[in-house]
A = this chain, B = another copy of it.
Amino acid sequence: MRAAIAGASGYAGGELLRLLLSHPEIEIGALTAKSSAGTALGAHQPHLTPLADRILLDTTAETLAGHDLVFLALPHGQSAAVAEQLGDGTLVVDCGADFRLADPAAWDHFYGGAHAGTWPYGLPELPGQRDRLRGASRIAVPGCFPTAVTLAMFPAFAAGLVEPDVVVVAATGTSGAGKSLKPHLLGSEVMGSVSAYGVGGVHRHTPEMEQNLSPLAGGPVKVSFTAMLAPMSRGILATCTAPARAELTPQTLRETYEAATKDEPFLRLLPQGQWPATSMTLGANTAVLQVALDERAGRVVVVIALDNLTKGTAGGAIQSANLALGLPEELGLPLNGVAP
């Protein structure tokens, strides 16, 4: 099978290529870009030695045609126009936000403008979702923060352990913001500093978290979400907490998470006493988590780490694509991080 990558000069595009180079069943086809069309990939992704001399094509229906699957790693709002030119026989995997939300009102509130539609949501670990992805021809890859928060909290909500009032504070590396040339993303600004952004209910990933968790809770889940930008290139560490239901014991909590993760190839509940660090997952398609019951405060606390570009974007995209294509879900996806 051959895959085209639209947006190959960016961070998500580069990570897709890094992973696909090790994928035994997917061959890399056209690489496209916008302003960088005509230049060699090596100028943008010098770490991808085997592809350094590949020339970037323009992102058009023509250059993307004739592939079995097309990954879209485009700025938000640009996927719909491209996707509609690709037939149903092509698997289209959108790493952008355009097709993630089911509720047009939520789309309008957080993104503004017309809602492009809703595609099957590419998070196989979400209960029931794996089956919906098999054979799909369109996939909306989740946001990196919603991936983290959903993987952290789905066991608690599915088992009814917590109240639907979640507080999430998550630190992320700078690659989540892409290669945008903005002053606050300069190395001089981010090194040695942690900052907050998207505070107070305005971060666009918030409704996606609520959309994922509410069905499991059997009613609306409220999420208070705060993002922190940390001085690292990759990684998300999310602390997720919700009020514990009265009768919850530490044993039940742990057993619930053990049961929910033990058959998941990419989730790892750490041994008791060990807490997640993003370095455990750098470059891997894994998420590591740990849980605690804070009996003084009456809260369940779940901490999860993953790589925003791998499990949080490109690895998650390939995992779902594997399902859609009838391949083994784990195919070509690294279980190891790179550390230290």
Residues of A at under 8 Å CB distance from B?
11, 14, 18, 21-22, 40, 42-43, 45-50, 52, 165, 167, 169, 171, 173-175, 179, 181-183, 185-197, 199-201, 206, 222-224, 226, 228, 230-235, 237, 239, 241, 268, 270-271, 274-284, 286, 288, 290, 292-299, 301, 303, 305, 335-340
Contacts and interface: CB of A to CB of B under 8 A. Distances in A.
A40 to B, nearest CB: 8
Nearest to A19: B336
A12 to B, nearest CB: 11
A340 B189 contact: yes
A240 to B, nearest CB: 10
User: Quick one: which of A197, A288, A339 has the most chain B CB within 10 A?
Assistant: A339
Q: Which of A271, A275, A301 has the most CB of B within 10 A?
A: A275
A235 to B, nearest CB: 6
How many copies make up the complex? 4
A222 B296 CA distance: 8
Kindly name the residue among A47, A174, A275 whose own CB sees the greatest number of chain B CB atoms within 10 A.
A47
A182 B268 CA distance: 25
Contacts of A295: 201
A130 to B, nearest CB: 20
B14 A195 contact: no
A14 B336 CA distance: 11
A338 B283 contact: yes
Contact of A299 (B224, B230, B278, B283): B224
Given A191-B233, A228-B239, A335-B49, A11 B340 contact: yes
